[in-house]
Structure 1
């Protein structure tokens, strides 16, 4: 099922203060912070070839956040 995002703010540029945190610069800051953790590593991707075929797509991949920083859930990161 495909649902369109009908929120009025969809695709509008971020406010400058939000862009500092959520934009490219914010991602760089987070990456530097996390690089100091011994257990920080790239999040593994898993291919779903049968699902991709069912939808006529070349590939579908999902992120496996289950082991991220030993927390068992990405939601624990806040």
Structure 2
């Protein structure tokens, strides 16, 4: 089973819906939901989450990979 917490680069693909933490939201842990446009982290895994750019242009680290149709928290 794939690790769905956003730490494994192989588990994340463009077009997936994910919850990320934006840099300015790191102290609060506020999540932002969006669709992955680009993967920015080059290493196969990262302890704080793979860094991605959403289609909206926002950049943050993936905290959760969402199933399609999952309501926002």
Decide which structure has greater strand share.
2
Give the shorter-chain TM-score range: under 0.3
Structure 1 length-normalised TM? 0.19
Structure 2 length-normalised TM? 0.20
Bigger RCO (CA 8 Å, 6+ sep): 2
Kindly name which structure, 1 or 2, has the bigger radius of gyration based on alpha carbons: 1
